Amino acid sequence: MILLVPLIKVIVVVLIVLGIVSYLVLAERKISAYMQDRIGPNRVGPKGLFQPFADIIKLVLKEMIVPENANGFIHALAPMISITVAVGALAVIPFGNYIVIGGQKISLMVANVNIGVLYILAMSSLGVYGITLSGWSSNNKYSLLGGLRSSAQMISYELSLGLSLVGVLMIDGTLQLDKITMAQSAGLWNIVYQPLGFLIFVTAAFAETNRLPFDLPEAEPELVGGYHTEYSGMRWGLFFLSEYTNMIVSSALMVALYFGGWSLPFINYAAMAPNLAALLQVITFFAKIGVLIFIFMWVRWTLPRFRYDQLMNVGWKIMLPLAILNLLGTGAVLLLVK
């Protein structure tokens, strides 16, 4: 029983998230098309709704080519690291409060760790291994450059990412995401207290997920795809999956930290039947994630890519000082208030 419930949770979460990911790909293609006065994929199924299946079938059936002098083992390992880490981070996301089955309260988190935020940060920094290793093992200069850029970028932005979070943690005094959510459902959302921190966090999150305008590790025009130049078939598909999963994790983290998680203002879940409340909470949570992911895509199809030196400038000379400033400011205000 102790093992069974988490196992079911894991399976459900992974399946749902991967299902969402495949449709996120379609959503991204559609959104980009509409922003460019096009229609986008519309051939497979009604309005192109079955496109993801076609994509998946193609990826699975496609030959996985390994370059002649590549390190085969690491080449195969790298995408696995990426996807594992990305999915692993989902473990501490509170999709809702709890459901009641057979009189037993089951939390809608896979694992309620008391260092949830820290765990996510740790996982996302592990993600760089997948990219760096894939870049190195491909025996391709473009891949290698992509991998190097990725590690440099991660190091630069992880600092700001972490520091921007500390404000929230100071306000709520906990690292557990469900507790942070609870705290927000009782009062105002943290975005009200931490607008600057949020801005920094969003920016850093873009960099962490390698999305435009910070997709330097891939940078098609200069690196022909960067670290995944030499990947094809499902291995490439795994990188793709992990990118979108990372996007979900980042969005979920933002929702949980700044937008009240599954809570909605003026709605009192406690007055409802617990399972109905849980359903509403999950829907709310995913709706909020959806909005943020739309912003992710919106930004991607609007902004051009940063140059490498600009990326470093922004990271070290602007975001880091601002994050520290935000931290000091929050601390000072907290001291005054208490």
Partner 1 sequence: MTNNGNGRKGPQLTLWEKLYFPEIIHGMSITLKALFRPKFTRQYPEERWVPPPVFRGRPVLVVEDETNVERCVACGLCARVCPSLAIQVQAAETELDKERYPELFEINMLRCIFCGFCEEVCPEEAIIMSKDYEMTFSNSKDAIFGKDRLLTPASQLKDRLEFLKQYR
Binder among 18, 31, 113, 272 for partner 1 (CB under 8 A): 31
Query: What distance in Å separates the CA atoms of residue 272 and residue 41, rounded to the nearest whole number?
Result: 42
DSSP codes of every residue in 238-296: HHHHHHHHHHHHHHHHHHHHHS-TT--TT--GGGS-HHHHHHHHHHHHHHHHHHHHHHH
Q: How far is the CB of 157 from partner 1 (least distance, A)?
A: 16
Q: What is the DSSP string of 100-159?
A: EETTEEEESSS---TTHHHHHHHHHHHHHHHHHHHHHHTT-HHHHHHHHHHHHHHHHHHH
CB of 57 or CB of 303, closer to partner 1 = 303
Number of residues that bind partner 1 (CB under 8 A): 17
Question: Other CB atoms closer than 10 Å to residue 141's CB: what's the count?
Answer: 11
Query: For residues 46-85, which are near partner 1 according to CB under 8 A?
Result: none
Stretch that binds partner 1, among 15-23, 174-182, 308-316, 327-335 (CB under 8 A): 308-316
Residue 245 near residue 80, CB atoms below 8 Å: no
Rounded to the nearest whole angstrom, what is the least distance from the CB of residue 280 to partner 1 in the complex? 29
Among 313, 324, 327, 329, indicate the residue that binds partner 1 (CB under 8 A): 313
Is 199 one of the binding residues for partner 1 (CB under 8 A)? yes
Q: Which residues are CB-contacts of 102 (< 8 A; sequence separation ≥ 6)?
A: none
CA 217 to chain CA centroid, Å, is 17
Q: Among 104, 114, 268, 310, which residue sits at the site for partner 1 (rule: CB under 8 A)?
A: 310
Among 265, 266, 309, 335, binds partner 1 (CB under 8 A): 309
* Residue 307 touches partner 1, criterion: CB under 8 A: yes
Quick one: which of 8, 11, 19, 36 contacts partner 1 (CB under 8 A)? 36
Of these, 1, 3, 37, 221, which contacts partner 1 (CB under 8 A)?
37
**CA nearest 251: which of 9, 20, 40, 80?**
20
Closer to partner 1 by Cβ: residue 38 or 105: 38
Q: At a CB cut-off of 8 Å and minimum separation 6, what does 30 contact?
A: 40, 41, 48
To partner 1, the closest distance from the beta carbon of 42 in angstroms equals: 8
Shortest Å, Cβ 178 to partner 1: 32
Residues within window 267-306 making contact with partner 1, judged by CB under 8 A: 298-299, 301-303
Task: Give the count of alpha carbons within 13 A of 20, CB side only.
Answer: 20
| Binder of partner 1 out of 11, 15, 39, 100 (CB under 8 A) | 39
> If you ran DSSP here, which 8-state letter would residue 154 be given?
H
Task: Lay out the site mask for partner 1 across 93-132 (x = CB under 8 A, - = otherwise).
Answer: ----------------------------------------
Largest CA distance in the chain: 64
Closest separation between CB of residue 302 and partner 1, Å?
A: 4
| Residue closer to partner 1, measured from CB, 174 or 301 | 301
Of the candidates 182, 179, 180, the one whose C-alpha atom is nearest the C-alpha of residue 194 is 180
And the tokens for 244? 């979108």
Q: Kindly state the helix (H) or strand (E) to which residue 329 belongs, with its residue range.
A: helix 320-337
Helix orientation angle between 233-258 and 177-186, rounded to the nearest 10 degrees: 40
Q: Please, what is the minimum distance in Å from the beta carbon of residue 167 to partner 1? A: 19
Q: Kindly list the residues in this chain that would bind partner 1 in the complex (CB under 8 A).
A: 31, 34-39, 199, 298-299, 301-303, 307, 309-310, 313
